[in-house]
Amino acid sequence: MKEFVLKGIPAAPGIASGQAFILDKQDFIIPVRAVMKQEVPIEIARFQEALLKTRQEIAEIQNKISRKMDGKHAQIFDAHQLVLEDQAFIDEVIQRIEKDKFSAEYTFSEVLKKYVKIFSNIKDEYLRDRVHDVNDVGRRVLKNLMDESKLHELDNLEEEIIIIGHDLSPSDTASMYNKNILAFATDVGGRTSHTAIMAKSLGVPAVVGLKNATLRIENNNFIIVDGRQGLLIVNPTEETRRIYQDVKNRIKAFRDRFQEIKDLPTQTTDGKSVVLMANLELPEELPSIRQHGASGIGLYRTEYFYMNRVDLPSEEEQFKAYKYVAEAMHSYPVTIRSLDLGGDKFISSLQIPRDMYSFLGWRAIRFCLERPDIFKTQLRAILRASVFGKIRLMYPMISGIDELRQANAILEEVKINLKEEKIKFDEQMPVGVMIEVPSAALTAEILAKEADFFSIGTNDLIQYTLAIDRVNEHTDELYQPGHPAVLRLIKNTIDAAHAQKIPVGLCGEMCSEPVLAFILLGLGLDEFSMSSLSILQIKKMIRTVSLQDAKDLAEKVLSLSTGQEVEEIARERVKQLAPEVIQSDQKETRSH
């Protein structure tokens, strides 16, 4: 088998090699998902759309087959079309969605099961065989209704594998935590998409936006994933394997070199201290977070708690998880972000269809304000856990002061209730705002008066400012953290926070890049929060440079016109001042 190379977008660094496992999207677990009354028409519309799409798919297959073979084979699919047009079947699904108020996929699968049973019991052999058609069609409709691949076939896997998927949902990646996953590669996705974030928290390389990897790679092909350059090398030759083994060893040596500074202060050569914290997705990351010397959790993404389950996490369950993390971090702060649903973070267990929360839609704090039942449960759990450590709360996607006030009003109600119940909590628990919507960055001086701290979420701030979808591989070239508009918004936010004497952090992917972190240092950022694997590299950079150098550079880049110029000039400066933090082997592998 000949070696070939696929080029994608580097999403999580590192090199991995192993067998490919192409994610099979054919197996479904259908969660029991109740819907609200007003969502019934949406579920019915989704069902009808899925039927239409399935009919089109089958017609296309029929066309192709009849062109290539004789008409007889194409006729097999007539039976499929007949199932899809069975009015009694369709009506039953619609009536049951209306009456029982469950999701389209769940209702459809229940009705399907009933039909399969009826067919299986028919005496006539020909008709009994039609059960296969009913099942086949059912799977197609379900595939079109459910966009999250289900990974239960992974549960039985023993060997180490590289996951290749068209897309991976947050619940897919969350369910991979304890598996032997060496790397991820996906056809779609951008560098700040959840696949990238989860790969970093698992500490494995990832390449996204490969376009057609799932079609070009076959199960069990041996591949090398180069997460720094965004490459997949399929069927590598002995020579390529040897080159990559060398690179892998060098990366390890590069990372190990920083281990010796783990317990030293994070301070510039002229005495400016900053705080380096870790982002946390799942409590399983705590050992790595400690091992890399994080001084706290700057972002605890709580969405993962709500994934891969059919019910909502209870207050008690959440309380235990938050308490566990707070205690594990001892006196270091743990910044818990309230539920940030929507956009790329979708889940199936909540009683909302996914299409209701697009990036610009009903998401994050907007969702929580409209569903105080869910929000309050989480706030109670966070407050109760606050006596066991140094918990801070922050709200995602705040777009203006009104939302902050509304969220705080609900928090106050929860506090009053806890007091009435004589349940202890930290009355001084800091409450911060994520600055990730341009309107929040532009009105930061208003928000700063009513917030205890800020945390800039550049993954979203960049997407909203530059109008680029963070999960879309086609806009990757436009993802420019150094874009003058982004830098100005960050500067405005930092200045507004400092004018009110509140600390300001940044928890987007941007601050794990030494060159960009150097600019942020110069802009006056107080706290840097990132995947734990990057902490020591950033620490080394900070300990090697002076604040004055960083300030000079920040001032200079603020006067530049393009993101590219900003990054080039900053890179040159970091190379001069702290060459050891720039990994030198970037260009040493083959340039494909």
Residues annotated as catalytic (active site), given as ranges: 194, 507
The Cα 25–Cα 145 span in angstroms is 12
Return the residue nearest Mg ion (CB atom): 460
Nearer to Mg ion, 301 or 380 (CB): 301
Return the residue nearest ligand PEP (CB atom): 457
Q: Does 189 bind Mg ion (CB under 5 A)?
A: no
Three-state DSSP class for residue 421 = coil
Token pair 């920040």: residue: 554
**Amino acid identity of 373?**
D
Nearer to ligand PEP, 12 or 141 (CB): 12
Q: Does 527 bind ligand PEP (CB under 6 A)?
A: no
- For 390, the enclosing helix (H) or strand (E) is strand 390-395
Q: Are 537 and 258 in contact (CB under 8 A)?
A: yes
Let me know how many helices (H) and strands (E) the chain has, helices first: 22, 16
Q: Are 307 and 346 in contact (CB under 8 A)?
A: no
Q: Which of residues 308-367 bind ligand PEP (CB under 6 A)?
A: 340
Provide the pairing of β-strand 222-226 with 15-22. antiparallel
Smallest separation, CB 194 to ligand PEP (Å): 8
Site string for ligand PEP, 494-513 (x = CB under 6 A): -------------xx-----
Nearer to ligand PEP, 333 or 508 (CB): 508
Q: Are 162 and 168 in contact (CB under 8 A)?
A: no
Q: Does 460 bind ligand PEP (CB under 6 A)?
A: yes
Q: Does 343 bind Mg ion (CB under 5 A)?
A: no
DSSP letters along 266-297, please?
-B-TTS-B-EEEEEESSGGGHHHHHHTT-SSE
Question: What's the sign of the alpha-carbon dihedral 522, 525, 526, 528?
Answer: negative
Helices 104-120/125-145 angle, 10° precision: 170
> Of the listed pieces 19-27, 151-159, 267-275, 457-465, which binds ligand PEP according to CB under 6 A?
457-465
> Of the listed pieces 14-22, 43-51, 60-68, 450-458, which binds Mg ion according to CB under 5 A?
450-458
Nearer to ligand PEP, 200 or 380 (CB): 200
Q: Does 301 bind ligand PEP (CB under 6 A)?
A: yes
Q: Does 281 bind ligand PEP (CB under 6 A)?
A: no
> Of the listed pieces 166-174, 322-330, 456-464, 493-501, which binds ligand PEP according to CB under 6 A?
456-464
Q: Does 460 bind Mg ion (CB under 5 A)?
A: yes
Size of the site for ligand PEP (CB under 6 A): 10
DSSP letters along 460-476, please?
HHHHHHHT--TT-GGGG
Q: Which of residues 411-450 bind ligand PEP (CB under 6 A)?
A: 436
- What are the φ/ψ torsions at residue 415 (nearest 5 degrees)? -65, -45
Q: Does 458 bind ligand PEP (CB under 6 A)?
A: yes
Say which entry of Mg ion, ligand PEP, none residue 508 contacts (CB below 5 to 8 A, set by partner kind).
ligand PEP
Instruction: Name the token pair of 83.
Output: 């199932």
Among 50, 299, 347, 538, binds ligand PEP (CB under 6 A): 299
Q: Could you write out the three-class secondary structure of 53-76? A: HHHHHHHHHHHHHHHHCCHHHHHH
The Cα 394–Cα 435 span in angstroms is 10
Q: Does 482 bind Mg ion (CB under 5 A)?
A: no
Q: Are 171 and 151 in contact (CB under 8 A)?
A: no
> Of the listed pieces 67-75, 408-416, 454-462, 539-547, which binds ligand PEP according to CB under 6 A?
454-462
Smallest separation, CB 301 to ligand PEP (Å): 5
Q: How open is the CA angle 218-220-223, to the nearest 5 degrees?
A: 85
Question: What's the sign of the alpha-carbon dihedral 487, 493, 498, 504?
Answer: negative
Nearer to Mg ion, 205 or 457 (CB): 457
Say which entry of Mg ion, ligand PEP, none residue 507 contacts (CB below 5 to 8 A, set by partner kind).
ligand PEP
Q: Does 285 bind ligand PEP (CB under 6 A)?
A: no
Q: Does 170 bind Mg ion (CB under 5 A)?
A: no
Smallest separation, CB 338 to ligand PEP (Å): 12
The Cα 190–Cα 207 span in angstroms is 9
Nearer to ligand PEP, 54 or 512 (CB): 512
Nearer to Mg ion, 144 or 534 (CB): 534
Residue (of 112, 131, 111, 136) closest to 121 by Cα position: 131
Q: How open is the CA angle 108-114-120, to the nearest 5 degrees?
A: 130
The Cα 224–Cα 235 span in angstroms is 8
Say which entry of Mg ion, ligand PEP, none residue 301 contacts (CB below 5 to 8 A, set by partner kind).
ligand PEP
Smallest separation, CB 387 to Mg ion (Å): 28
Nearer to ligand PEP, 491 or 573 (CB): 491
Note the residues at the interface with ligand PEP (CB under 6 A): 299, 301, 340, 436, 457-460, 507-508
Binding residues for Mg ion, per CB under 5 A? 436, 457, 460
